[in-house]
Amino acid sequence: MDIVRDLAEIKNPLPKAVITIGNFDGVHIGHQALFHTVIEKADALQGTAVAMTFDPHPMRVLSPNGHPPMITMPDQKAELIAKAGIDVLICIPFTREFATISARGFVEDLLLRHLGMRAIVVGNDYSFGRNREGNLPLLQQWSKELDFEVLVVDWIQGANGNAQRISSTHIRELVMGGQMEDAKRMLGRHYQIHGTVAGGRNRGGRLLGFPTANIHLQDELCPKQGIYAVTVEHGGQTYKGVANIGYSPTFDDHLFTVEVHILDFNKNIYNDPIRVNFIQRLRDEIKFNGIEALATQIHKDVAHAREILSNL
């Protein structure tokens, strides 16, 4: 997949471009449905499957104090869109100046003239242009006048009879509530965090018999405090593990940490990048009456995690 970060890089219109546009935070199964339709249409036209997104998220420019935490950071979002099979990702630097472009100018000047759009794939609530003045009926009206096709992809509902539509907002709520299995059904994959293994407080192995990797997070959206069964990706390999998110109340040091005990693992991975996939929340983080009681509980957590992860 080619990634375009400046529209000036595109000197000529893309061949028979089929475009979908959005923030695509989370790259959830609703977004994936848009990409699938884009790819199908581009294949039929022997054209180019294109996704257009924005960096930073428009809310960070237009409402800098009211934006939500991102589900996927830009590099991970690009990686997931590439896996979906898109040919070209256009990542537009979003500014207040860009936000003043009229809906008509956005379609006629940018999408049609500059990018060579032949078809656009949208959801039925799509809006665009200055103050969101453009909408689906207007887009369909212009498509007849300007000779392009509009393909509308219906909302995808939640699994298990849940009537709520799949959305980035709902996924954030699930992750922050520790509902990792429900989040997975909407994402189409386990929720994942990225980070670098940092120096910890050197007590997991020394005091408890369970050495942990202390993660310096790169992500903004952190799951609810508690203990989780996880898998850990490092060096091209995937391992099983148990993660603790919170303040380690038994030690009373009031420092927020994300720590992972990787099962059956004894490598030195300080300063290495790792990815952690959250499979299931096991329990709340609670304060124990001493280190021995905590160590006993961790043994139970590890056994519980092994049981859950044995089914993957």
pLDDT digits (tens, 9 = 90+) for 245-296: 988 766 666 678 899 999 999 888 989 999 999 999 999 998 888 788 888 8
Count of domains for the chain: 2
Do residues 214 and 302 share a domain? yes
- Asked if the structure places residue 106 within a domain, the reply is yes
**pLDDT value of residue 93:** 94
Do residues 199 and 112 share a domain? no
CATH code of the domain covering residue 202:
2.40.30.30
DSSP string, the chain: -EEES-GGG--S--TTEEEEES--TT--HHHHHHHHHHHHHHHHHT-EEEEEEEES-HHHHHSTTSPPPPSS-HHHHHHHHHHHT-SEEEEEE--TTGGG--HHHIIIIIIIIIT-EEEEEEETT-EESGGG-EEHHHHHHHHHHHT-EEEEEPPPBPSTT--SBP-HHHHHHHHHTT-HHHHHHHHTS-EEEEEEEE---S-HHHHHS---EEEEE--S--PPSEEEEEEEEETTEEEEEEEEEE--GGGT----EEEEEETT-----TT-EEEEEEEEEEE-----SSHHHHHHHHHHHHHHHHHHHTT-
- Asked if the structure places residue 196 within a domain, the reply is yes
**pLDDT value of residue 116:** 97
- Asked if the structure places residue 255 within a domain, the reply is yes
- Asked if the structure places residue 224 within a domain, the reply is yes
Do residues 267 and 129 share a domain? no
CA-to-CA distance for 135 and 145, rounded, in angstroms? Answer: 16
The residues, any chain, with a CB within 8 Å of residue 304's CB and separated by 6 or more, are 229, 282
Do residues 12 and 149 share a domain? yes
- Asked if the structure places residue 178 within a domain, the reply is no
Low-confidence ranges of the chain (pLDDT < 70): 157-164, 200-209, 249-254
**pLDDT value of residue 204:** 47
Structural domain ending residue among the three candidates 95, 124, 153: 153
Do residues 201 and 305 share a domain? yes
Do residues 14 and 78 share a domain? yes
Do residues 268 and 197 share a domain? yes
Write out the residue range of the structural domain in which residue 199 sits.
191-309
- Asked if the structure places residue 184 within a domain, the reply is no
Do residues 103 and 201 share a domain? no
Do residues 60 and 196 share a domain? no
Structural domain ending residue among the three candidates 101, 126, 153: 153
- Asked if the structure places residue 92 within a domain, the reply is yes
Reference 225, options 262, 192, 178; nearest CA is 178
CATH code of the domain covering residue 58:
3.40.50.620
Do residues 132 and 269 share a domain? no
Structural domain ending residue among the three candidates 153, 181, 215: 153
Rg, Å, the chain Cα set: 23
CA-to-CA distance for 154 and 125, rounded, in angstroms? Answer: 9
- Asked if the structure places residue 80 within a domain, the reply is yes
**pLDDT value of residue 235:** 93
**pLDDT value of residue 65:** 78
Residue that has been written with the tokens 């934006």 in this structure? 67
**pLDDT value of residue 187:** 97
CA-to-CA distance for 125 and 65, rounded, in angstroms? Answer: 25
For all residues of the chain together, what is the average pLDDT? Answer: 91
